[in-house]
Structure 1
Amino acid sequence: MLYVYAITADHPGPHDAGSLPGEGIVPGAPVRLLPFGDLAAAVSPVSAVDFGPEALPARLQDVDWTGQRVLAHQRVVDSLVDVATVLPMKFCTLFSGAAALRAALADNRAALEATVVRLRGAREWGVKLFWEAPPAEPAPVERGPGAGAAFFQRKRDAQRLRAEAEAALAHGVAESHRRLAARARAAVANPVQPAAVHRRRGEMALNGAYLVPRADEAAWRESLAELERTYAGAGIRYELTGPWGPYNFTGGGLAGS
């Protein structure tokens, strides 16, 4: 069986694999480039004992096993980002052998080549926006004459401040995504992650991915710096990640067989 990490184009040299890591998703199994016209597939051999259709579903239930292999998949893709145009494949894209993979490449050649044109010369960057909400409930007050009225006034004030902060956040999120997307070739706002997943302080309000031409990266990052300055006093902070393989912009990829 063959495990496919990515489809590549524009690789230096005739499908030179010098930039690939020594091993991929299976320890000791080398990663190589399988040429197909102007494209190549980054692959490594895997065993049906672990990756066959009967064994794989059970393996994927093992969090440690899966986590290690997700990271290995990512390492291979990352090794190609700076030396080629990369179309990352989904985790566990598998083929029975080279003939089946070449047949899939032939069937999807036009779509893959069109995607290469769209991705060429650009990399994916991620921006997450976090927000710390003001308290919705007022601080407790001392008991005494007028305490009840004061409490409800403070509660109304807290709710008003929360509503104003949420309106400012909505504007900040929309403006942030608009300005970052304007300097990118393509952009997508992914679903925000709950706190149990992102493990950051505050609420995630934007989980954006941006396909940025290399020539425009400095200007794009300056746009992000301007946003940080603009919203520094609004409880908003940004987290930049990347560059990544363009996972969010490759389309459907290949269906294994």
Structure 2
Amino acid sequence: MLYVYAVTADHIADSDDLLPEEGILPDVPVRRFRWGTLAAVASPVPDTVFGAATLPGRLEDAPWTRACVLAHQRVVSALLPAATVLPLKFCTLFSGEPALSAAIAGHREALERAVDRLRGAREWGVKLFFETPAPVARLPETVGAGAGAAFFRRKREEQQARLAADAALDLCVATSHRRLASHARAAVANPVQPPELHRQPAVMALNAAYLVATADETAWRACLSDLERTYAAAGARYVLTGPWGAYNFAGAGLV
């Protein structure tokens, strides 16, 4: 079997020498299979681990799966300086080189369009967090005459304050994504992560990816810095990650 990490193009000279020594499993080599201007980076893997009868059970082992996901990402990241990289999803598998070759041939036009889209650009991630807002200040309790009217007035003012805070947050998120996207070749806002995944003492309000041309990265980073200054007082915290293989922009892949 072949475990395939990515399709590549625009290879620099001697790029095969830059392939990682270890692949998805320890002591598993990484090879590049070429078809004209396109290539696939893959590792031979045993059926006893990645075969249809055994892989589902293996994936139930969370530490093993995490190690494999990280190994997949390490290989893709190592390819970025040496080629245009179309990363494939985790556990893209083929029975052997003939099946992989047939998939490349069948998807060649789509792969070449994806190469054109990604050439000279890298994917960056931006996560926007807000500290959990403090409770809205409450008016002192009122007793006696007029207490009922004061209670409803207090509730109304608290609701208005919450609505104003929510509107300000929404405006920050929309403005941030729009401005960052204006300096990118493409952008996508992914679903925000729950606290058990991001593990931050804050609320995630934006989880976005941007395909940025290397020639535009300075302007894009300057835009991010300006947003950080603009919204710091509002409790906004931007987390930049990357560069990554362009998973969000590569297309459907080979399967």
Look up the match of 1:219: 219
Q: How far off is 1:189 after superposition? A: 0.4
Give 3-state SS (helix, strand or coil) of 1:217's partner: helix
CA distance in 1 between counterparts of 2:53 and 2:17 reads 34
Unaligned 5+ segments in structure 2 are none
Look up the match of 1:206: 206
Q: How far off is 1:152 after superposition? A: 5.8
CA distance in 2 between counterparts of 1:131 and 1:149 reads 34
| 1:135–1:158 CA contact under 8 A, matched in 2 | no
Q: Give me the TM-score of the superposition, normalised by structure 1.
A: 0.92
Q: Are 2:107 and 1:112 equivalent residues in the alignment?
A: no
Task: Give the alignment of 1:174-193 within 5 angstroms.
Answer: 174-193=174-193
CA distance in 2 between counterparts of 1:55 and 1:99 reads 23
Look up the match of 2:74: 75
Give 3-state SS (helix, strand or coil) of 2:206's partner: strand
Give 3-state SS (helix, strand or coil) of 1:44's partner: strand
Look up the match of 1:170: 170
Look up the match of 2:55: 56
Greater mean alpha carbon deviation, residues 137-146 or residues 113-122: 137-146
Look up the match of 2:17: 18
Q: How far off is 1:82 after superposition? A: 1.9
Unaligned 5+ segments in structure 1 are none
Give 3-state SS (helix, strand or coil) of 2:22's partner: coil
- Could you report, residue by residue, the CA deviation over 1:111-156 in whole angstroms, capped at 9, with x for unpaired residues? 1011001100000000011112433454696797688876665554
CA distance in 2 between counterparts of 1:250 and 1:99 reads 23
CA distance in 2 between counterparts of 1:57 and 1:27 reads 20
| 1:136–1:158 CA contact under 8 A, matched in 2 | no
Q: How far off is 1:161 after superposition? A: 2.1
Look up the match of 1:248: 248
| 2:142–2:151 CA contact under 8 A, matched in 1 | no
CA distance in 1 between counterparts of 2:143 and 2:33 reads 80
Q: RMSD of the alignment, in Å?
A: 1.9
CA distance in 2 between counterparts of 1:165 and 1:109 reads 50
With over 3 angstroms needed to count, the CA separation of the structure-2 counterparts of 1:185 and 1:149, relative to structure 1, is same
- The number of residues matched between the two structures is 254
Q: How far off is 1:8 after superposition? A: 0.6
| 2:126–2:208 CA contact under 8 A, matched in 1 | yes
- Could you report, residue by residue, the CA deviation over 1:171-198 in whole angstroms, capped at 9, with x for unpaired residues? 1111111110111000000000011111
Look up the match of 2:42: 43
- Could you report, residue by residue, the CA deviation over 1:77-106 in whole angstroms, capped at 9, with x for unpaired residues? 000112210000000000000111011000
| Amino acid paired to 2:9 | A
| Amino acid paired to 1:250 | A
| 2:180–2:220 CA contact under 8 A, matched in 1 | yes
| Amino acid paired to 1:63 | A
Q: How far off is 1:218 after superposition? A: 0.6
| 1:187–1:208 CA contact under 8 A, matched in 2 | yes
Look up the match of 1:34: 33
Give 3-state SS (helix, strand or coil) of 1:176's partner: helix
| 2:136–2:162 CA contact under 8 A, matched in 1 | no
CA distance in 2 between counterparts of 1:41 and 1:203 reads 39
Look up the match of 1:239: 239
Look up the match of 1:98: 97
Percent of residue pairs identical: 62
Q: How far off is 1:236 after superposition? A: 1.3
Greater mean alpha carbon deviation, residues 136-145 or residues 110-119: 136-145
CA distance in 2 between counterparts of 1:114 and 1:203 reads 37
| Amino acid paired to 1:229 | R
| 1:70–1:91 CA contact under 8 A, matched in 2 | yes
